Structure 1
Amino acid sequence: MKTLEYLLLGSAAAFPAGAMAAELNLICSADVVICEKLVSEFETSHPEIDVNMVRLSSGEAYAKVRAEARNPQTDLWWGGTGDPHLQAAHDGLSTQYKSPMLDELQDWARGQAETSDYHTVGVYSGALGWGFNTEIFADKGIEAPQCWADLLDPALKGEIQIADPNSSGTAYTTLATLVQIMGEDEAFDYLKKMHANVSQYTKSGSAPVKAAARGETGLGIVFQHDAVAQAVEGFPIEVGSPCEGTGYEIGSMSLIDGAQNEEEAKIFYDWVLTPEVQNMMPDAGSYQIPSNAAATPPKEAPDLTALKLIDYDFAQYGSAERRKELLARWDEEVGSLPLQ
C-alpha cells in the first residue's frame, strides 16, 4: 500500500530545501469549507507548494476550463459531479493520468477512470435526494415527501429550491436521473409541473438545502450528504430519498491538459486519493462515501446499499452531446418559465 508517508517523502525529494516554492492552480467544486480544508492540509504537508484555489460549481468549472483551452490557467480540477468531468475528457480538456493509487480505490472510482480512458477518477460518491425543514413543514401542515411524485403537491408551492443544471452538477444529475427513471418527455413534463413549486434556481448545488436550514425555503433538492451536513450542524433538516429510485454522483478529479504545473498537480492528485486524507473530510462537514477502499465512510453518511439507486448511465449522460441536448431543452422548456 502506498501510504501517506511514502507520498510525502516522494514530494520532499522532488523539491529540495531552499528551492523556490512551486505553485498549483486548483479548481475545487465541493463546498468551500471542504476546499479550504484540503488546501490547508496539503500546504501544511507540502510547504514547498503554494496552492491557488478557486471554488466553482461543476458547470462553472467546466466552462472555465473550456474557455482557457488554448492557454490553460488551471492545473487540476477536484470534486463536483462526474458528468462534466467526463465531458471535459471527451472534449480533450483533461489529460490521461494513471495514479499509483488506482489499485486502492473502490470499483466505482476505478470505473470512472476506465470510462474516461483515465482522464478522470472518482474521489467520492453520494446519492441524490432532498433535505426539508421539519419546522416549516410542521407549521404549514405539509406532509414529508416520500417520492419524486410528492414534490408536485400544491402544498409545496414556493417551498422548493433546486439549482440550475447549467451551473450545477447536482441539478444536472437530477435532470439526468429523472430522464432515466421516467423517460425524457415525461421527465420534462414533470419538471414543468414542479416548476410551479420552485421559488429559486440557485447557482450552487448545495445552496437549496442551506436555504432550507436557514428557514428561507421548505425543501432543497440536493445530494443527501449535503442535507446530512446541515442536520449535523443542528439545523432542523430531515433527509429524504425518493421511493421511485434515485441517481448518484461520482465526484471526480481531472488533470487539465496543458497544465503549467503538471508535476505539482500529480502530487496533489495522489495525495488526495490516500485513505489518510479522505478520512479527514468529515472534519470539514463532508459526508460523502470516500473512494479509497481503506478509508472509513463517515458514520453519518447515508448508507447507499439501503437506498434504491438506479443504474445511472455515466457514459451516456456524461457525454458532450447528451448534456448539450438536455441542457438546451431545459433552458427552452423549464428555465424560460417565469417563477411564480
Structure 2
Amino acid sequence: MTKLKLALLGCAAILPAGAMADELNLICSADVVICELLVNEFEKSHSEIDVNMVRLSSGEAFAKIRAESRNPQTDLWWGGTGDPHLQAATDGLSAEYKSPMLDQLQDWAQGQAEVSGYHTVGVYSGALGWGYNREILEKKGVSAPQCWADLLDPALKGEIQIADPNSSGTAYTTLATLVQLMGEDEAFDFLKKMHLNVSQYTKSGSAPVKSAARGETGLGIVFQHDAVSQAVAGFPIEVVAPCEGTGYEIGSMSVIDGAQNLDQAKIFYDWVLTAEVQNLMPNAGSYQIPSNASAIAPKEAPDLSTVKLIDYDFAQYGASERRKALLSRWDDEIGSLPLE
C-alpha cells in the first residue's frame, strides 16, 4: 500500500500488503531543514509510525491549532518560541503530559513545563539579537550597530528586516523584550522610529537574516543562532547581542488536546528530548542550546554567559490576554504604517 506523505516530505511510504502504519500529525515551527532531519531520524528508528509534517511559523501554528480546536488535526507541535505555546496552554489547546525525560532536562526547560502546568516543555534556548552583512554596511560607511539604540540611525534606512509578530515568535519575543527593557509606551515609540529604517516585515522569524546573507538587506533582527547559521555557511554575517540587554526564547513542544494519535505523539515527545537526538541538531545547521542536560551545546552556539540577558517574564508575556493586547497595539501603531 502506498501512502502519500503530507506537506514538506512529498514522498511515498511503501508498506507491506495489508499493513497499516500508525500516524503522527506534526507541526514543526523551526527551520525546515531541522524539521526534515527530525522526521527522517524518527522514522528510521520508529518505522511503524508514519509522520505527516507541516512547517509553520509559531504564530501560524497557534492560529491553526486554535482554528481546529473542536476537531484537532494536529497531534504534536514541536519548536518555535515558548510564548505561543504558553498561550495554547492557557487557552486549553494543549494537553498535560509529564514525560519520563523531564528529570534529564535543564532547569529552564523544566521550568517551562512547570509554569504551563505541564502542557509544554522546553526543547532548546537561544538569545535574541541580530545579524548584519558587514560588506553592505562597510560599503555604505555605516557603523555596525551594537545596541538597540543604534538601530534608529538614519544611515540604516531601508536596511533592517524583522518579522511580523503576529506570525513570528521571534518578532513577538522582540516586541516583549523591548517592552520589558523600556516600558510599553517607550517600546512602541522606539518601534515607530525604527520603522523608518525597516524595509520589510517578514512572515518567518529567520527570514530577515537570510535576506541579509543574500545581500538583500543590511541587517536582520533574529535569534542569534539563526545569524550564526548563516555565518557558519560562509556568508558575511556578523552576530550581535545588544548592549542594553536582550530577551531569549525557550523553544517549546506541546501535545495537542484531543490529539487523534496521542500514543504516537508521546513516543516522539520522549524521543526528541533525548541527548542523542538533540546532539544531531547541528547537522541541520541548528545552533541553539539543547534542553537535555547531557546534550552537548554546539561549539558555534552563542555563549549565553557573555550575553546580557533580561529576566524575561515568560508567564506574563505568554499569557493569552497580554499577548493579544500587545499584538493588537502593534497592528494599530506599527503594522498599519506604510513602508517607504
TM-score tier, shorter chain, comes to over 0.9
Matches within 5 A, 1:7-18: none
Q: Partner amino acid for 2:165?
A: P
Shift of 1:200: 0.1
Q: Partner amino acid for 2:333?
A: E
2:322: which partner in 1? 322
**CA–CA separation in structure 2 for the residues paired with 1:166 and 1:275:** 32
**CA–CA separation in structure 1 for the residues paired with 2:181 and 2:146:** 16
Matches within 5 A, 1:196-275: 196-275=196-275
Q: Secondary structure at the match of 1:59?
A: helix
Matches within 5 A, 1:1-340: 20-340=20-340
Shift of 1:28: 0.1
Shift of 1:298: 0.2
Q: Partner amino acid for 2:336?
A: S
Q: Which runs of 5+ in 2 are unaligned?
A: 1-17
**CA–CA separation in structure 2 for the residues paired with 1:28 and 1:304:** 25
Q: Partner amino acid for 2:84?
A: P
**CA–CA separation in structure 1 for the residues paired with 2:233 and 2:73:** 36
Runs of 4+ with deviation above 4 angstroms: none
- Counting aligned pairs with the same residue, the percent is 85
**CA–CA separation in structure 2 for the residues paired with 1:36 and 1:152:** 38
**CA–CA separation in structure 2 for the residues paired with 1:113 and 1:179:** 24
**CA–CA separation in structure 1 for the residues paired with 2:227 and 2:283:** 16
Q: Which runs of 5+ in 1 are unaligned?
A: 1-17
**CA–CA separation in structure 2 for the residues paired with 1:266 and 1:306:** 36
TM-score normalised by structure 1 residue count = 0.95
CA-based RMSD of the aligned residues comes to 0.6
**CA–CA separation in structure 1 for the residues paired with 2:166 and 2:297:** 30
**CA–CA separation in structure 2 for the residues paired with 1:32 and 1:204:** 11
**CA–CA separation in structure 2 for the residues paired with 1:20 and 1:200:** 46
Shift of 1:164: 0.1
Q: Partner amino acid for 1:264?
A: Q
Shift of 1:20: 2.0
**CA–CA separation in structure 1 for the residues paired with 2:188 and 2:99:** 40
**CA–CA separation in structure 2 for the residues paired with 1:176 and 1:156:** 23
Deviations 1:210-252 (Å, cap 9, x if unpaired)? 0000000000000000000000000000001100000000000
TM-score normalised by structure 2 residue count = 0.95
Q: Partner amino acid for 1:22?
A: D
Shift of 1:306: 1.0
Deviations 1:169-206 (Å, cap 9, x if unpaired)? 00000000000000000000000000000000000000
2:15: which partner in 1? none
**CA–CA separation in structure 2 for the residues paired with 1:19 and 1:88:** 35
Q: Partner amino acid for 2:237?
A: I
Q: Partner amino acid for 2:287?
A: Y
Shift of 1:305: 1.1
**CA–CA separation in structure 2 for the residues paired with 1:147 and 1:181:** 12
Shift of 1:19: 5.5
**CA–CA separation in structure 2 for the residues paired with 1:34 and 1:133:** 24
**CA–CA separation in structure 2 for the residues paired with 1:19 and 1:294:** 38
Deviations 1:258-309 (Å, cap 9, x if unpaired)? 0000000000000000000000000000000000000000000001111000
Deviations 1:139-184 (Å, cap 9, x if unpaired)? 1001011100000000000000000000000000000000000000
